[in-house]
Amino acid sequence: MGFYFNGVSSKEMGIKAHLVSWNTVPTLRGNTGAVPGKSGVIDFGAEYGERYIDIYCNVYPKANFEALTKVLDGVADWLDPTAGVKQVIRLLRW
């Protein structure tokens, strides 16, 4: 199994991926508020929160440490969380 992240496949990056958990619906984030002097809360509805996907990845064997480091650095740049939110697409088969 593999995945695409930001238009690049895990296979292109030289890693093998194993999906651990995949929630079909993100968690719900409730919006309620308390009213001073009143019992209970006001319900303002709910909205979707973040959706987390757990994926374990393995790097294919490399001939030397330099080649392994190159792959790991490339994967770190590819999955960099400071680059913002990107789309993940699950592949069922290679």
Residue 17 contacts residue 74 (beta carbons within 8 Å) = no
Residue 46 contacts residue 30 (beta carbons within 8 Å) = yes
In this structure, the chain runs to a length of 94
Domain positions in the chain: 2-24+52-91
Average pLDDT, the chain: 85
Q: Taking CA 51 as the corner, what is the angle to CA 47 and CA 54, rounded to the nearest 5 degrees?
A: 165
The pLDDT value recorded for residue 64 is 93
| Tens-digit pLDDT profile for residues 10-31 | 888 988 887 777 677 788 888 8
Residue 84 contacts residue 3 (beta carbons within 8 Å) = no
Mean pLDDT across 30-43: 90
The pLDDT value recorded for residue 92 is 62
Percent of the chain at pLDDT > 70 equals 96
Cα–Cα distance, 47 to 93 (Å, whole number): 33
Is residue 94 predicted with pLDDT exceeding 70? no
